[in-house]
Chains A and B, each alone.
Chain A
Amino acid sequence: MKLWTKAVLTVAALSLAACTDPGGFGNDDDYGSGADSELGSSADPSSIAYFQEAVGDRVLFVVDQSTLSEQGRLVVLAQANWLMQNTDYVAVIEGHADEQGTREYNLALGARRASAVQELLVSQGVASNRIRTVSYGKERPIEICSEESCYAQNRRAVTVLTANLTG
């Protein structure tokens, strides 16, 4: 089992080394999880998998709002803490909106949401040059029903990590 994990990590490291374009994350087909494939094991506290599962990679928002909820604030504080300890990673914060809005407005709204997370991370001491933001507006829903249960999951800001290859 351990050997198997090691093999996967090796493959992951190889594919990372082959990736010379750190700006290419927007093209990842697997955007639903907002993640690269090199997750590592969630048992490893410095892995992306751990960040996603134990720390929490996303916060949700109220309709047409970009203010962090108390719960969202706690998640971002934990993210900041993790990023301060794992300085080999850079992050792109992806802001998203649900489908109930016009395309351009939702792009701007998603940018506000991503920025809300970024500001809190930076205020906690995470270097601003480690964090970029992008908005997908309503272009990349993870839940597809046209009900509030889905909309609530789609109004999100996801902190997507990449190993910092240049640093």
Chain B
Amino acid sequence: MRLFVTLVIGILTMGQFAHPVAAQSQPLRIEITDGVIEPMPFAVPDFVAETPGSNQVARDISRLIAADLNGTGLFREIPAKAHISSITNFGSPVQFADWKAVNAQALITGGVSVSGNQLEVKFRVYDVFAGTELGNGLRFKGTTDGWRRMGHKVADAVYSRITGEGGYFDSRVVYVAETGPKNNRKKRLAVMDYDGANLQYLTDSSSIVLAPRFSPTGDRVLYTSYETGFPQVYVLDVGSVRRKVLSNESGTMSFAPRFSPDGKSVVMSVTEGGNTDLYKMDIGSGKRQRLTSTPSIETAPSYSPDGSKIVFESDRSGTQQIYVMSAGGGEATRISFGKGRYGTPVWSPRGDLIAFTKQNKGRFHIGVMRTDGSEERLLTASFLDEGPTWSPNGRVIMFTRETRGAAGASSLYSVDVSGRNLKPVKTNGGGSDPSWSPLQ
């Protein structure tokens, strides 16, 4: 009897991660609690070019919105060639029957105008089967070279209206771009839009760089560099690409940095005499506070979103496991108890889950668990998956996947927190150690 009750509760809670779909009799809505996995069909006819010469950008923005939504795995575009009517005037009433006939549950219409380098994009979202508009039309203004961001903003708004959750398309990813063979790999920091566009290199490849981490506002990046010959933590301003070393004490190594939620301090590992512990450093004053004092390895720290706790990995039990402690240090509680080794914990931006890397029986997994260690679920399995990072809405996890063998290479992958929609992330060449920015 007790077992039965436990099972039912387990299934209900698991349902929160399952994939959504709109129920036909309800208003247009992807319910995250729904267990059905059929993606919602939608149509994005080319946005109306309202000024001469804006046809191309109007088309590009529509395609970008479709790509964003399709890429989530929650939506499925009805291609233009299946449409039986088109939108030629943003203000005209929508012929719902024509969109219903092609089974588009959601319809996104828009208008684009260009004046000099100024770009204006407006859009509306319709619930086709209900024959109503979903929310109100919105208008974004910007410059023509920022058209991708404006498209992402429209897609975020659409996603948000239909799922009831924040979006993640207008975001960036900082990662380590990799070239060259395994025994002579060149690494440099790179930043790009979440979809791989607008790639920019932040360092050259003369020194090893590792594990960049975005600040809570996306303006700065922490990373580890071997610039001095010894690994040290640096902070880099993304706009000016200026960097400064944070911790450069002779005879010590520092690595695995992560910002506190207020962006004012950094928690990281410092190794002294072969022993690795966690320290907190105030960025402004450089003042350092020791958080752990054990002969074991303490590394890969990550703050809870409210800043009150730190999750990290330690081998104090004999193997790599995940622990939670107060942000000020002190006693830590072990939360990982499954088979195998657990590392690289990262607190989700929603605060409810911790993503991690698990090693068991020669395989690597990306997984998630509740912050007390319960309800562990593995999302991936491969020769080598590691280093999860959360999308700003806590819905998607990006990570590093490395292939086996002498020709092995690293690339970025993403997976929905439900374990679905596993796919490679577009990068220029190899990549590792992604860190997802907040929504811009």
Contacts and interface: CB of A to CB of B under 8 A. Distances in A.
B273 A144 contact: no
A102 B386 contact: yes
Interface in B246-291: 251, 253, 255-256, 269, 271, 273-276
Contact of A144 (B181, B229, B359, B387): B181
Contacts of B383: 146
Interface in B182-239: 182-185, 206-208, 210-211, 226, 228-231
Interface residues of A, number: 39
A111 B251 CA distance: 11
Interface stretch (A40-48, A72-80, A81-89, A133-141): A133-141
A145 B208 contact: no
B376 interface: no
Contacts of B211: 103-104
Nearest to B301: A104
B231 A101 contact: no
Interface stretch (B39-47, B117-125, B403-411): B403-411
A144 B408 contact: yes
Given A102-B357, A103-B433, A144-B406, A134 B229 contact: yes
A26 B300 contact: no
A29 B433 CA distance: 22
Given A23-B229, A27-B206, A116 B274 contact: yes
Contacts of A66: 274
B359 A108 contact: no
Contacts of B183: 32, 140-144
Given A25-B229, A26-B230, A27-B207, A102 B387 contact: yes
A134 B273 contact: no
Nearest to B256: A104
Nearest to A145: B406
A26 B406 contact: no
B277 to A, nearest CB: 10
Nearest to B312: A104
A132 B228 CA distance: 13
A119 to B, nearest CB: 8
A96 B101 CA distance: 63
Contacts of A107: 210, 231, 253, 255-256, 269, 271, 276, 299
B344 interface: yes
B402 interface: yes
Interface in B398-418: 402, 404-406, 408
A108 B384 contact: no
Interface of B: 181-185, 206-208, 210-211, 226, 228-231, 251, 253, 255-256, 269, 271, 273-276, 297, 299-300, 313, 315, 320, 343-344, 357, 359, 362, 383-384, 386-387, 402, 404-406, 408, 433
Given A25-B229, A108-B299, A146-B405, 4 more contacts: A102-B313, A102-B357, A105-B300, A142-B183
Interface of A: 23-27, 29, 32, 66, 92, 99-105, 107-109, 111-112, 114-116, 118-119, 132-136, 139-146
